[in-house]
Amino acid sequence: MNTLKTFLEMISYRENLDREGFILRENKDDKIAGPDSGGKDADKETSDKPQAKKRNFIKPRRPAEINYGIPPGKTDSASSALEQNREAINKLYGLPDNKDIITRDFFLGMNTTYKSMAVFIDGLTDKSVLNMLFEALMLFAEPPDADRGKLAALVMKALLPGNQVKMISSFKDILAAVNIGDTVLFFDGCAEAVAVETKGWEHRGVEMPVTEQIIRGPQEAFTETLRANTGLLRKIIKNENLTTEFFVVGRRSQTPVAVMYLRDLANPALVDEVKRRIKSIKTDAMLDSGVLEQLIEDHPYNLHPTILATERPDRVASKILEGRVAIIVDGSPFVLTAPATMYEQLHTGEELYNRWQYGTFIRWLRAAAFLLSFLLPGLYLAIVLYHQEMLPTELILAIAGNREKVPFPSIVEVLLMELSFELIREAGLRIPGVMGSTIGIVGALILGQAAVQANIVSPILVILVAVTGLASFAIPYYSLAFSLRIYRFIYIALGSMLGFFGISMGLFAHVALAANLKSFGVPYLAPTGPKTSDWTDVVSVAPVFFQEKRPDYINPLDLTRQPKVSRGWIKGGGNQDD
Amino acid sequence: MIKEGKFGLAEAIILMAVSNVARVFLPYPRYLVELGGSAAWMTPIGGLAVTLVGAYIMSLVLKKNPDNTIIEITEEAFGSILGITFNLITIAFFISVCFLFVREFSEALITAALPETPISVIATVYIAIGLLGSYLGIEAIARSTRLTYIYVFGGIVLLLFALTPQWKFDNLFPVFGNGFFPIFGLGAFSTAAVTEIILAAVLVQAIGGADKYMRINFFAALIAFTVLGVLLAALVLTMGKEVATETSLPFYRLSRNIYLGRFFQRVEALFIIIWSIVGAIKIALTLYGASVSLARTLKLPDYRPLIWPLGLIVFIFSFLPPDLPTTMKLDTDFLRPFAHIPNYLLPLLILAAYWLKGRMRRAGS
């Protein structure tokens, strides 16, 4: 009988009723008003108005209306009864479902009357520190005879070996402490808790910079840990005026953001403006400094970046020493510095570590690369399409001869190659490391050799695209290079439509728009537009002993970097070393 | 109050100088060669003197009310009806400069580089850039001028050096060309219109106030007239006065003449970049001047809403002349004599009005 049934089931048709498996239905309160409106009103609204007439549109809710998970009324102070505190913790963290949060019961000094509880998060805390903590509290502590209400203070002062200890009483502070890896201790009969610093999570060590490599100079890079990053900076600037201020951004992620500056150097108005912008941000998560950059920059609609991001501590230190402000976001190995100018985004810092002649050479080379990276394809098109007479006859004949077999117009040819190049770039970035060599073969053989042999593009264009690509890689700041990559296509369009006239009009508009940019009140093209007296470290690098002044456009509190004669050993230099 | 921004002395000088140089790239130098013959290079001397005197008178006028521009001062001096009439003349002057330049630069580009492009496309691009520049404001225009002037003057110097092998000094003789009156009389009358001291007087608050006005105009005029003189000399030296009077775009013709070995020849395309940028600066600046003057005349808090309608007016006006010769004739017969009214006559009239007012007040008391 059973066998027959199974057989029939195998050969007969039955409709699959569970076709979709899982459907994520819309929330009830997403459809109807906010959570505060209550069930009755919501039901009334749905029954009164027919569903079909409702627009598919969710009313934006103000942040105050959104419930971020903290039950109302539970953010108040801790109670003196241990059981009540435990209940509150269980409710707040969703215990026992939430397996990361550990509540550990123990008796202070092995005395059963002193019931205590520790709360911490597994994975964020250092196990050896925790072990030492429990050892001290359970084995070596003498149960005190003091008033139970003052137990927390006594434990903190007399019994705990932890290095950063503080007393807290509100659940808001308790949650904040536990969430960043501290251990919070509750004692029965005491309305206050003790937070002990036990942070210790898995993280990457300090490594070599990945995107900003230099030959001469420090080879350390920032990591994802905020404290390590501030430490890296403080290691370079050993100065009591170096100030680190903390802010918390992101209502859900509660990401710490640090602002670092030299108190006696950075312009207070600048520091206040940076702090004002960071404090004003209302968002739910801050995953990288790139997000913060977009939230605090002056001109989000212009292609040019107006904030500098770098992963090298020595560069950030040099910015802080000029009077700028550094912004470090926890979890991001890129530190922002503001204000930023375009010239600064074309520097690497290495020019100063090398001798000044080499630095100057590299900077001029980079200036040429800067222009080539967005102008070259457009100029080529303008010359080939409109201004053939500009080229010497032999060269134009060579180009024409090469182009003879190519079936496309020049503009299609250029766009084809540029798009392929952009594809190689993107694919080369995303390709898994083990397959890395494939991209070289694809790029070099297929797009170079084979495309020319198949008469899809002319050889001169391959050279041109390669040079443009090289020039664009020579630009040290990724965001700036990115903006120029996009500008390149605008100049291709202008050059192919209007020749040199189009390109010069594009340049004028580009320059006017860039000259209009401001980064935290500082013109983006400073110190050339507007012209200030700083010339020692813009395109040409002056010898280090000539760099007597800090950049004027940042308006630091102290403009002088070093006295007129900084080399005390030269003739007449010794008596001027004030 | 209209927010104009501020910039430094050097930026102001360069802005005014580049604005004054713009005419050099148009058919204008040809007219001067016609006027002065082999002594064409002397024609700017008289103009420079007139300009400096004019600028001095204008600075005296501006010092009567250092917190305001020439627009408010005109109204203060003549009362509202006559003052507004004079201000409208000034605005009409800016608009005529702007539309004639749009037309002449567009025509020049068609001759030099883009023979098959419709003129409306080129004029549209120029107007668009002018709108953008005047929308961004005088500060952005001044800064971009400061960043591009090196290439403009560098290009002119390069042109001069590249042409030296072709110079024939015989072409400069006779030394006084067509005689004293054409050179210094008519020349002064004509070249005095090259500078727009009224434009600087409208922008006086942005360029640093009435105190710096004279200094800025002195250097700007010096630079512009030197460039004009040197180019006229180069033109006559290279081609001789007969050929020079036959070219419609002398500067373009000069750059075509460059021949330094097989590789470096016919670089006129490079000069297209230079003049189109100078043209864009000039158009943006005059459009800005027109809209700011109008906003000040109408006492509006912002000039930006006026840019679009004024740009449209300029665009339409630029197509009214049927062809290039008519445009050039308009420039010679209408614009240049007209330029003397706001530039030189207006400040004199204002001074006279102030003087009369002072006398009447004294007589009354």
Q: Is the pLDDT of residue A54 over 60?
A: no
pLDDT of residue A438: 77
Using left for φ > 0, alpha for ψ between -120 and 50, and beta otherwise, residue A189 falls in left
Packing angle, helices A478-515 and B268-297, rounded to 10: 60
pLDDT of residue B23: 86
Distance CA B293, CA B70 (A): 9
Touching check for B130 and chain A: CB below 8 Å? no
| Per-residue pLDDT tens over the stretch A411-447 | 999 998 899 888 888 888 888 888 777 777 777 777 7
- Counting residues of chain A whose pLDDT is more than 90, the rounded percentage is 40
Q: Does residue B209 sit within a domain?
A: yes
Touching check for B359 and chain A: CB below 8 Å? no
The CA distance from B63 to the nearest CA of chain A, in Å, is 27
**Nearest CA among A43, A24, A23, A48 for reference residue A33:** A43
Number of Cβ atoms within 10 Å of the Cβ of A227: 15
Contacts of B277 in chain A (CB under 8 A): 504, 507-508
Distance CA B316, CA B123 (A): 10
| Per-residue pLDDT tens over the stretch A507-548 | 999 999 999 999 999 999 988 877 777 788 888 898 988 888
Contact of A556 with A321, CB cutoff 8 Å: no
Touching check for A521 and chain B: CB below 8 Å? no
* The CA-based dihedral angle spanning residues A529, A530, A534, A537, taken in that order and rounded to the nearest 10 degrees: -20
Q: Please answer yes or no on whether B113 and A500 come within 8 Å at the CB atom.
A: yes
CA Rg value for chain A: 32
The residues in A 486-515 lying below 8 A from B, measured between CB atoms, are 498-505, 507-509, 511-513, 515
**Nearest CA among A215, A207, A233, A205 for reference residue A316:** A233
The CATH number assigned to the domain holding B108 equals: 1.20.1740.10
pLDDT of residue A67: 46
Distance CA B251, CA B272 (A): 10
Contacts of A496 in chain B (CB under 8 A): none
pLDDT of residue A163: 76
Q: Does residue B332 sit within a domain?
A: no
Q: Please answer yes or no on whether A511 and B8 come within 8 Å at the CB atom.
A: no
Q: Does residue B19 sit within a domain?
A: yes
Domain span at residue B281 reads: 9-321+339-350
| Per-residue pLDDT tens over the stretch A204-245 | 889 999 888 899 999 999 999 999 999 999 999 999 999 999
Q: Please answer yes or no on whether A508 and B281 come within 8 Å at the CB atom.
A: yes
pLDDT of residue A42: 45
Give mean pLDDT, residues A105-121: 87
Touching check for A301 and chain B: CB below 8 Å? no
Q: Is the pLDDT of residue A575 over 90?
A: no
- Three-state SS for A168? strand
Q: Which residue of B has its CA nearest to A387?
A: B269
Q: Does residue B13 sit within a domain?
A: yes
Contacts of B7 in chain A (CB under 8 A): 530
Touching check for B139 and chain A: CB below 8 Å? yes
Sketch the domain layout of chain A as residue ranges: 19-65, 82-196, 226-340, 372-523
Distance CA A424, CA A473 (A): 13
Whole-complex ipTM: 0.92
Q: Please answer yes or no on whether A516 and B114 come within 8 Å at the CB atom.
A: no
Contacts of B126 in chain A (CB under 8 A): 505
Touching check for B148 and chain A: CB below 8 Å? yes
**Nearest CA among B152, B192, B218 for reference residue B12:** B218
| Per-residue pLDDT tens over the stretch A83-108 | 888 988 998 898 888 889 999 998 88
Q: Which residues of B160-174 are buried (b: 16+ CB within 10 A; e: fewer)?
A: bebbeeeeeeebbee
| Per-residue pLDDT tens over the stretch A246-256 | 999 998 888 99
With cut-offs at 50, 70 and 90, classify the pLDDT of residue A372: very high
Contacts of B268 in chain A (CB under 8 A): 389-390
Q: Please answer yes or no on whether A501 and B140 come within 8 Å at the CB atom.
A: no
Q: Consecutive 10-residue runs of chain B (365 residues): their mean pLDDT?
A: 75 90 86 85 88 90 86 88 91 92 90 88 94 92 90 86 85 81 83 84 85 89 90 88 83 82 72 88 94 92 92 93 88 86 89 89 82
Q: Does residue B364 sit within a domain?
A: no
Give mean pLDDT, residues A127-148: 81
Distances (CA, A) of A413 to A203, A395, A410, A496, B147: 48, 19, 5, 12, 33
Which stretch, A23-37, A318-332, B248-262, B264-278, has highest mean pLDDT? A318-332
Q: Please answer yes or no on whether B125 and A389 come within 8 Å at the CB atom.
A: no
Q: Which residue of A has its CA nearest to B281?
A: A508
Contacts of A531 in chain B (CB under 8 A): 8, 10-11, 146
| Number of domains, chain B | 1
Q: Please answer yes or no on whether A515 and B147 come within 8 Å at the CB atom.
A: yes
Q: Please answer yes or no on whether A498 and B277 come within 8 Å at the CB atom.
A: no
Which has the higher per-residue pLDDT, B195 or A499? A499
Choose from A500, A518, A533 for mutation: most chain B CBs within 10 A. Answer: A500
Which has the higher per-residue pLDDT, A40 or A418? A418
Of B143, B265, B276, the CB nearest to A501: B276
pLDDT of residue A491: 96
The CA distance from B129 to the nearest CA of chain A, in Å, is 7
Q: Is the pLDDT of residue A40 over 50?
A: no
Q: Please answer yes or no on whether B113 and A387 come within 8 Å at the CB atom.
A: yes
Q: Does residue B361 sit within a domain?
A: no
pLDDT of residue B241: 83
Contacts of A388 in chain B (CB under 8 A): none
Q: Which residues pair with A262 in a beta bridge?
A: A242
Q: Please answer yes or no on whether A390 and B270 come within 8 Å at the CB atom.
A: yes
**Nearest CA among A149, A213, A191, A175 for reference residue A68:** A175
Choose from A508, A510, A518, A552 for mutation: most chain B CBs within 10 A. Answer: A508
Which has the higher per-residue pLDDT, B175 or A201? A201
Task: Output the average pLDDT for chain A.
Answer: 85
Choose from B272, B274, B282 for mutation: most chain A CBs within 10 A. Answer: B272
A-to-B residue pairs, Cβ atoms closer than 8 angstroms: 110
Contacts of A507 in chain B (CB under 8 A): 148, 273, 277
**Nearest CA among B262, B346, B309, B278 for reference residue B141:** B278
Number of Cβ atoms within 10 Å of the Cβ of A491: 23
Q: Please answer yes or no on whether A504 and B276 come within 8 Å at the CB atom.
A: yes
The CA distance from B79 to the nearest CA of chain A, in Å, is 37
Of A498, A501, A525, the CB nearest to B143: A525
Contacts of B284 in chain A (CB under 8 A): 512
Q: Please answer yes or no on whether B129 and A509 come within 8 Å at the CB atom.
A: yes
Q: Please answer yes or no on whether B113 and A389 come within 8 Å at the CB atom.
A: no
Residue B181 is classified by DSSP as: I
Contact of B73 with B60, CB cutoff 8 Å: no
Q: Please answer yes or no on whether B276 and A530 come within 8 Å at the CB atom.
A: no
Task: Output the average pLDDT for chain B.
Answer: 87
Contact of B193 with B23, CB cutoff 8 Å: no
Which has the higher per-residue pLDDT, A219 or A158? A219
Touching check for A387 and chain B: CB below 8 Å? yes
pLDDT of residue A58: 55
